[in-house]
Amino acid sequence: MATMTMAKALNAALADAMLDDERVLVFGEDVGQLGGVFRITDGLQARFGDKRCFDTPLAEAGIVGFAVGLAMSGLRPVVEMQFDAFAYPAFEQIASHMAKLRNRTRGALSVPMVIRVPYAGGIGGVEHHCDSSEAYYAHTPGLKVVTPATVEDAYSLLREAIADPDPVVFLEPKKLYFASGEAELPARTAPFGRAVVRRPGTDATLVAYGPAVPVALEAAEAAREDGWDLEVVDVRTIVPFDDATVTASVRRTGRCVVITEAQGFAGVGAEIAARVQERCFHALHAPVLRVAGLDIPYPAPMLEHTHLPGVDRVLDTVARLQWDDRPDPRWLAQGSAA
């Protein structure tokens, strides 16, 4: 085991994939000599040459569309979007081509490519640099949507994404890039479609992914003081989604809070809450609740702490899980005001 950052693990995953498979090409904006603005592609051009790792014109639709064409010719492109919000110009290529080509051609053509997207906030970034855009992708059939929360998973999931026969949107939580963890490379953790219990518990299940996982773990730790033993499930792959693991956990604990950094309305958290409710209704002792970002455009850096779900908001929500069969205190408060 070694201690390393998620950025380093991602870099190693790219390098190992390029070493193992000549068809893997890495390209995007500033990914060549510079190594990417977050240095995830650091050293790849020097090591593999500028035909394998290269800069492109500044045009995200172009980058993704070019990758679709390369995939049609038998290559395995791994492209980087510089930041979450700068992937939006590519959306037509993603939704209409990358996601659909296999289906349109009844499997004659496939698009084994990866779009890496540094996403979400918590780093004091200015506007357009902190969006949680997972719902756009997860709502698009044909895409796989993956987001690591640990250093080992970063490596393992990225290797699997590159080897996958389908297009993968690989969401890298920016605020975890330089967080260190223990990893032994080449790591092979759980495959796509498998959620993981990061912390066992008996009283309630916190479901989270990507940047919300450390928040959930911290909240679970803090909840011990209040006498709650919380389980934390890391979704890992939003698509394909692992109903089985999430359902098994909630059936055990009988309570569930879904935590996402993304704004909550029509988000992935809403989907998870609905799925849990559909599958665990009779095991539930309380409604499934969500803790999400506010339904606002991502705020300016000095206000982001109000937007982001933190430990306190998670614990406040856990407190509302009808622990002693009394009505939700908020309704009591409203009743007394009336």
Partner 1 sequence: MTTTPQAVRRASPRTRRPATPVAPDPTAGLLPQTAPVRLLDPDGTPLPPRADLPAPPVETLREMYRRMVVGRRFDAQATALTKQGRLAVYPSSRGQEACQVGAVLALRDDDWVFPTYRESMALTARGIDPVEVLTLLRGDWHCGYDPTVVHTAPQCTPLATQCVHAAGLAYGESYQGRDTVALAFIGDGATSEGDFHEGLNFAAVFKAPVVYFVQNNKYAISVPLSRQTAAPSLAYKGVGYGVPSEQVDGNDPVAVLAVLTRAVAHARAGHGPYLVEAHTYRMEAHTNADDASRYRDPDEVEAWRDRDPVARLEAYLRSRGELDDAAVAQIAAEAEAYAADLRDRMHAQPTVDPLSLFEHVYAEPTPQLVEQREMVRAELAADAEGDA
**Which candidate in 128, 129, 282, 305 is catalytic?**
129
Between residues 40 and 70, which has the closer beta carbon with respect to partner 1?
70
Residue 289 near partner 1 by CB under 8 A: no
Minimum CB–partner distance for residue 207 and partner 1 (Å): 16
Distance, CA of 32 to CA of 30 (rounded, Å): 6
Coil vs helix vs strand at 137 = helix
- State the nearest-atom distance from the C-beta of 112 to partner 1, in Å: 9
The candidate with the shortest Cα–Cα distance to 281, out of 317, 244, 255, 319, is: 255
Name which of residues 121 to 150 contact partner 1 (CB under 8 A).
Answer: 141-142, 144
Q: In what order do the strands lie in the sheet with 53-55?
A: 53-55, 24-28, 76-80, 114-119, 168-173, 144-146, 237-239
Contacting partner 1 within 226-245 (CB under 8 A): 239-244
Which range of residues in 64-72, 214-222, 289-297, 311-319 is near partner 1 by CB under 8 A? Answer: 64-72
Query: Catalytic: 285?
Result: no
In terms of Cβ atoms closer than 10 Å to its own Cβ (0-12, 13-18, 19+), residue 150 is buried
Single residue of 41, 82, 93, 189 touching partner 1 by CB under 8 A: 93
Minimum CB distance to partner 1 smaller for 137 or for 241: 241
Site for partner 1, residues 158 to 177, rule: CB under 8 A: 164-166
Assess 65 for contact with partner 1 (CB under 8 A).
Answer: yes
Among positions 3-62, residues that touch partner 1 (CB under 8 A) are: 51, 56-57, 59, 61-62
**How far is 265 from 278, CA to CA, in rounded Å?**
19
Q: Give Cβ neighbours of residue 302 (< 8 Å, ≥ 6 apart).
A: none
Locate 10 and state its tokens: 């991602």
Report the residue from 12, 70, 246, 291 that binds partner 1 according to the rule CB under 8 A. 70
Among all chains, which residue has been given the structure tokens 């702490």? Answer: 305
Report, in Å, the least distance between residue 63 CB and partner 1. Answer: 8
- Contact criterion met (CB below 8 Å) for 193 and 242: yes
Give, as one character, the DSSP assignment of residue 166: S
Find, among 17, 7, 37, the residue nearest to 151 by Cα. 7
Q: Which is nearer to partner 1, 22 or 295 (CB)?
A: 22
* Token pair for 263: 């704004």
Residues of this chain that interact with partner 1 (CB under 8 A) are 51, 56-57, 59, 61-62, 64-75, 77, 89, 92-93, 96-97, 100-110, 141-142, 144, 164-166, 193, 239-244
As annotated, the active-site residues are 129
